[in-house]
Amino acid sequence: MHEHCDDECCVEMEQAFLGAEVEDFLLKVYDPTEGAFGEVSLESLVEAEKWTVLFFYPADFTFVCPTELADLAAKQDEFEKLGCEVISVSTDTEYAHLAWRGSEKLLENVRFKMGADTTGELSRYFGVYDPDTGLALRGTFMISPEGILVSSEINYYNVGRNADELLRKLKANVYLREHPAEACPARWEPGKKTLTPSEALVGKVYESLGE
């Protein structure tokens, strides 16, 4: 992302696509753990071999948003154990993030970085920017340690998300990174049966799962 450049050098980001490499970005953040402002780039996360979850939400000081961030914060330790960096993102400034986190009791356990996409460039790249409001829709995007977009979900303003389901999808993707020939069926959890696609499985999924 280029926040300070003229028209000649500033190249707009393309659209993100599932299964494709995500363009590098540089995002200003408020880090509640450090109590300080900073920056985070996708390049640094890939170099650290981290999974990345970008959790877009409409705005600070709103209503559904703090319930979502609190739900996510309650699972942060589990995300971290899986090598995942969680970053919440809105079009608010990092200063607003600091103020909101300090005043909203629901956010007292939030330790993940809070990204400030004030230009809306990253929100546009992931297809969640609403030009009528200047806000981001509720978009969740999972990026592999190789920088590949492996999961996406977008909800409208009035429907909150479920951190348990996001964590389940992360576990599935972590497993599949180590077992690329397999596939995870609906409601898969670690320890449950997976599927190995082949001609022998066609029309025989029921038997393969032992149901």
Structural domains of the chain, with CATH: 26-178 (3.40.30.10), 181-211 (no CATH)
Relative orientation angle of helices 163-178 and 64-73, to the nearest 10 degrees: 40
Residues paired with residue 136 on neighbouring β-strands, in sequence order: 129
What's the pLDDT score for residue 211? 59
Question: Considering the chain, what percentage of its residues have pLDDT values greater than 90?
Answer: 92
Question: Considering the chain, what percentage of its residues have pLDDT values greater than 70?
Answer: 94
β 113-116/84-90 pair status: parallel
Average of pLDDT values for 100-123? 98
List C-alpha distances in Å: 124 to 87, 121, 128, 140. 17, 5, 6, 13
What's the pLDDT score for residue 1? 43
What's the pLDDT score for residue 14? 85
Q: Quickly state the pLDDT bin for 76 (edges 50, 70, 90).
A: very high
pLDDT tens by residue, 17-66: 999 999 999 999 999 999 999 999 999 999 999 999 999 999 999 999 99
What's the pLDDT score for residue 12? 67
Alpha-carbon Rg for the chain, nearest whole angstrom, is 18
What's the pLDDT score for residue 13? 79
Which of the residues 10, 65, 84, 184 is marked catalytic?
65
pLDDT at 102 exceeding the cut of 70? yes
How far apart are the C-alpha atoms of 144 and 7, rounded to whole Å?
A: 32
List C-alpha distances in Å: 154 to 6, 17, 35, 80. 32, 13, 30, 23
pLDDT at 4 exceeding the cut of 90? no
Average of pLDDT values for 146-162? 98
pLDDT tens by residue, 171-200: 999 999 999 999 999 999 999 999 999 999
Q: Is 65 a catalytic residue?
A: yes
- Tokens 């509640």 appear where? 32
